[in-house]
Amino acid sequence: TARNLLLLPGDGIGPEAMAEVRKIIAYMNEAHGAGFVTDEGLVGGSAYDAHGAAISEEDMAKALAADAVLFGAVGGPKWDDVPYDVRPEAGLLRLRKDLELFANLRPAICYPALANASSLKPELVEGLDILIVRELTGGVYFGEPKTITDLGNGQKRAIDTQVYDTYEIERISAVAFELARTRGNRVCSMEKRNVMKSGVLWNQVVTATHKDKFSDVKLDHMLADAGGMQLVRAPKQFDVIVTDNLFGDMLSDVAAMLTGSLGMLPSASLGAPDGKTGKRKALYEPVHGSAPDIAGTGVANPIAMIASFAMCLRYSFNMVTEADRLEKAIANVLDKGIRTGDIMAEGCRQVGTVEMGDAILAEFKAL
């Protein structure tokens, strides 16, 4: 049976990174009859240039129909002044919302070969393996009202609204607890219940969900600001962190930077399993952005995009062996001292995007 992928390379280094994933897909189809059928669309600035929208209705329909979406990156100075609702990020936010991708999985893993690349002392990050589970379709990202009003007297008023309902917190915490069971069996929930009512509800619902269904998992609570501190102070204390959309945005970026290798980190955004088929909608994207400054120069690190495809194999197609193998291929290539510029270190060999992709593919074939 066909495995339908929609590729949305986006802007900046997105297309270059996606090209390296295409090679892996082609190989898996040829050598293993994996049956991937790929289609392609535009998102972000490139969609705006073509259609005047951050994603076209046609591409949205394709995304809704696909088994999984592979997403590159969006944005760049070229589109800094386009109207708010067609800015590049609007394409990504619409995909998350319309596909109901409420669970954003952001692993922060420190590859042993890269422990020195972190700005933290190596002993604090060696072996780091955190999974941040971020709520992705609620909170201040989508709550209404979200407005700027002219008050008339030279003053404007901007309003954003954070809204969370019980069920939204229940389902994201269930995802976090389930994933914790496959790892260190510990969840730390982060909010600001001392300031925000959504933090109070978050805390209550996570606690209740834990008591009802997941009392075998160890649960802690931390204020989000203290959580940010603790991530910097002693990141290895964490296993799974579950938090809301905005805190997840901040905390996952801090966690990502701890690994010293933003160009390495993948993410998965998952919907709920379909009642009938059990399938969940999904989008996979690197954590890094579109890096317009290096786009087109052939130096971008494709590893985060390739690792995102490994997550796709694991979570959308249950191809666990292949996912493990692809992740192992990445680790082996790093162990061999092959590096793109962003993770270059003394005694290593510096390569470009294509060579890195080739090296990982060769390793993947050999494993």
Ligand X SMILES: CC(C)[C@H](C(=O)O)[C@@H](O)C(=O)O
**What residue numbers does the annotated binding site for substrate cover?**
96, 106, 134, 225
Q: In whole angstroms, what separates CA 106 from the centre of its chain?
A: 5
Catalytic residue (choose from 129, 253, 324, 358): 253
Single residue of 39, 40, 126, 225 touching ligand X by CB under 6 A: 225
Catalytic residue (choose from 48, 67, 111, 141): 141
Q: Are 184 and 238 in contact (CB under 8 A)?
A: no
Q: 58, 63, 53, 60: which is closest to 87 by C-alpha?
A: 53
Catalytic residue (choose from 39, 98, 129, 249): 249
Q: Report in angstroms how near the CB of residue 134 gets to a copy of itself at its nearest.
A: 11
Tokens encoding 318:
């249950």
Question: Is residue 167 flagged as an active site residue?
Answer: no
Q: Report in angstroms how near the CB of residue 104 gets to a copy of itself at its nearest.
A: 13
Residues 268, 275: Cα–Cα separation, whole Å: 21
Q: Which stretch binds ligand X (CB under 6 A): 64-72, 88-96, 108-116, 330-338?
A: 88-96
Residues 103, 350: Cα–Cα separation, whole Å: 36
From the list ligand X, a copy of itself, none, which binds 22 (C-beta under 5 to 8 Å, kind-based)? none
Length of the chain: 367
Q: Report in angstroms how near the CB of residue 43 gets to ligand X at its nearest.
A: 11
Q: Are 221 and 243 in contact (CB under 8 A)?
A: no
Q: Are 171 and 206 in contact (CB under 8 A)?
A: no
Residues 89, 12: Cα–Cα separation, whole Å: 13
Q: With respect to ligand X, which residue has the nearer C-beta, 58 or 89?
A: 89
Catalytic residue (choose from 225, 236, 324, 328): 225
Q: Is 274 helix (H, G, I), strand (E, B) or coil?
A: coil
Single residue of 195, 344, 345, 367 touching ligand X by CB under 6 A: 195
From the list ligand X, a copy of itself, none, which binds 2 (C-beta under 5 to 8 Å, kind-based)? none
134: left (phi over 0), alpha (psi -120 to 50) or beta: beta
Q: Which residues bind a copy of itself (CB under 8 A)?
A: 75, 84, 87, 89, 93, 119-121, 124, 140-141, 143, 146-148, 151, 154-167, 192, 194-198, 200-202, 224-226, 228-229, 231-234, 246-247, 249-250, 253-254, 256-258, 262
